[in-house]
Amino acid sequence: DLVYFQPKVSVSEHCVVGAEALTRLQNEDGSIIPPDVFIPVLESSGKILELDWYVMRFVFSKIRDWLDEGKKPQKISVNLSKIHFYYDTLVDDIIREFEKHQISPEYVEFEITESVFFEEADLIISKIERLREYGFKVSVDDFGAGYSSLNLIGILPVDIIKLDKRFVKNSLGNKKGKDIIKGLISILNEIDMDIVCEGIETKEEERIVYEFGCDSMQGYLYDRPIPVSDYEKKY
Ligand code: G
Ligand code: MN
């Protein structure tokens, strides 16, 4: 299996609210190749496009299957590599593929990594606006990982900000960092942005960011990315 789902949970509602679709490639001996290793390789060869499209189609048809089985679909997010944004037909291509499946866009979220916005912001922003007008949710992934400026928060036309796991983890280790995360969450709540904290691994981390005002979490505390058939049994 190529596609894995990792749950996102709501702390206040004590439930799984959706999942992120992730890929795990395997060596011939069955050992897993981590995404930090294969994604840059696939990006430089352009193969990442094929992989993203594969995951996207998989997610659309999975949602279709759930509806056919009479289940209420959870919202599933798909990562879109920055390479997609070089294509002017991106949004049309996504919508064309999506419409084959006869599902509602409310079940689909696209995650776009923060670093996309450092180049050609205008072109990217107009594509994101079109995705949202159509009804998809859009999130900024890995926020705080690179050189995100505060300016970015104001211009990003997105629904959800996912705070980068390393940023959160490093910050929670000291007083100043904690205050920064606290302030950031408070600003994001102030402008009605949904927030997901990534990389939550301990109850203590969960408690701190929950007290700061973030309700949605993702991380090994809840589950790792697991094969979709396992995900369906569990959640
Ligand atoms: O960049 P993005 O946020 O999409 O990365 C998701 C990656 O983060 C996945 O490869 C996933 O396995 C990893 N991940 C998810 N939760 C955790 C966690 O709690 N700890 C660590 N170290 N990695 C995590
Ligand atoms: Mn992601």
Measured by CA distance, the residue closest to atom 11 of ligand 1 is 225
pLDDT of 31 reads 86
Other beta carbons less than 10 A from residue 138's beta carbon: 21
Q: CA–CA separation, 151 vs 172, rounded Å?
A: 23
Q: What is the mean pLDDT of residues 97-126?
A: 91
Using the mean position of ligand 2's atoms as its centre, give its distance from the Cα of residue 129 in Å. 19
Would you say residue 150 has pLDDT above 90?
A: no
Question: 16: which residues sit within 8 A by CB, 6+ positions away?
Answer: 7, 8, 9, 74, 222, 235
Residues with CB under 6 A from ligand 1: 6, 22, 35, 79, 141-142, 165, 198-201, 218-220, 225
With bands split at pLDDT 50, 70 and 90, how would you rate the model's confidence at 57? very high
Closest listed residue to residue 213, CA positions, set 165, 167, 163, 176: 163
Would you say residue 103 has pLDDT above 90?
A: yes
pLDDT of 93 reads 97
Measured by CA distance, the residue closest to atom 20 of ligand 1 is 199
Would you say residue 186 has pLDDT above 90?
A: yes
Q: CA–CA separation, 135 vs 181, rounded Å?
A: 30
Q: What is the mean pLDDT of residues 127-134?
A: 96
In ligand 1, which atom is closest to the CA atom of 164? 3
Question: 89: which residues sit within 8 A by CB, 6+ positions away?
Answer: none
Q: Which ligand is nearest to the CA of 160?
A: 2
Q: CA–CA separation, 193 vs 187, rounded Å?
A: 9
Using the mean position of ligand 2's atoms as its centre, give its distance from the Cα of residue 25 in Å. 16
Q: What is the mean pLDDT of residues 122-132?
A: 93
Would you say residue 1 has pLDDT above 90?
A: no
With bands split at pLDDT 50, 70 and 90, how would you rate the model's confidence at 147? confident
